[in-house]
Amino acid sequence: MNLAVIGAGSMGAQIAQQAALGGVDVFLHDKSAAQLEKARSSNRGHIMRRVEKGKLAADEAEKALSGVHESTDLTEAVSRADFVIEAVFEDLELKRSIFAELDRAALPEAVLASNSSTMGISKIADVTSRPERCVNMHFFYPVLVMDLVEVVRGPQTSDETVERAMSAAREIGRTPVLINKEIDGFIVNRILHAATQEAYRLLDAGVAGFEDIDTAVEKGLNWPMGPFRLGDFSGLDVTYNARLHMYRSTGDERFRPSPQLEAKVKAGKLGRKTGEGWYRYAK
């Protein structure tokens, strides 16, 4: 596979690096040279830590690092690609304009995949002349650690494209699951939201404190982090906005954000990044 990754932020940088670790030839594109530089140095840090821990041989590390080619020119980045994964900002108009550009610049047989967390491919693919070769591939942060890709087919995605996306995920060294229908939240966020919503319901009803709910989930379900600790880790604004999005798009009362969560966000207590959320963190 010749892969191109568009957008070198938190996700794109690591998708490219994970692919190169698996021996895939990959071009990473961002319109910002500074962002490409940041991606390279961050990837080097991650890979070198593996070498220090004895988990990766030094020559393999260098091969994986030099396997990610970079370009600020989108046309150059996709010129040889038979598979493209887009990971730019979560902005529908931006994604649509990138897909229109990719449709013009990429090989006609290339698959165009989007890593969007919330936008089904049908919202984007209609700007291309190849909607049957467009698909969602939802990776998880941090991609170098998290072994899952949700492959989501849109109404026009062909069987062949689904197969190619599933095998691309495997070539990148990640386990794919197939979602046959576009649905908000795909599988993982759907289940996470349901569990988190129940945790907030228990909190709001005064059934238990957040620390005890976290402990119950961590010890009883073996989750590495309970819902409140996880919220602090991801950012309570992210959790709040995701719930608001689900609530507005489904109208389902189950997704209405908790008043206590809303209060935290309004008070600027967003979790680790602000030093306080549900828990307090040393600065």
Q: Is 50 in the site for ligand NAD (CB under 6 A)?
A: no
Q: Rank residues 37 and 109 by Cβ distance to ligand NAD and give the closer one.
A: 37
Out of 19, 20, 24, 35, which residue is the one contacting ligand NAD (CB under 6 A)? 35
DSSP-derived secondary structure for 27-58: EEE-S-HHHHHHHHHHHHHHHHHHHHTTSS-H
Using the Cα atoms of residue 29, residue 31, residue 37 and residue 38 in order, give the sign of their dihedral.
Answer: negative
**Which residues, 107 to 146, sit near ligand NAD by CB under 6 A?**
115-117, 138-139, 141
Q: Determine if 231 is a binding residue for ligand NAD (CB under 6 A).
A: no
Look-up: residue for tokens 């108009």?
A: 93
- Which listed residue (87, 106, 137, 270) binds ligand NAD by CB under 6 A? 87
| Mode of pairing for the β-strands spanning 83-86 and 2-6 | parallel
**Which of 3, 4, 5, 12 touches ligand NAD by CB under 6 A?**
12
CA 128 to the chain's CA centroid: 23
90 interacts with ligand NAD by CB under 6 A: yes
Catalytic member of 43, 150, 193, 276: 150
Known catalytic residue at 150: yes
Residue at shortest CB range from ligand NAD: 9
DSSP string, 201-270: HHHHTTSS-HHHHHHHHHHHS--SS-HHHHHHHH-HHHHHHHHHHHHHHH--GGGSPPHHHHHHHHTT--
Q: Is 93 a catalytic residue?
A: no
Task: Reply yes or no on whether 138 is catalytic.
Answer: yes
Q: Tell whether residue 236 is a contact of ligand NAD (CB under 6 A).
A: no
Q: Does the protein bind ligand NAD through residue 89 (CB under 6 A)? A: yes
Residue whose C-alpha is closest to residue 22's, from 63, 52, 55, 59: 63
- Please indicate whether residue 189 is annotated as part of the active site: yes
Residues 140-199 that bind ligand NAD (CB under 6 A): 141
Q: Which amino acid type is present at position 250?
A: T
Residues of this chain that interact with ligand NAD (CB under 6 A) are: 6-12, 30-32, 35, 87-90, 94, 98, 115-117, 138-139, 141
- Annotated catalytic residues are 117, 138, 150, 189
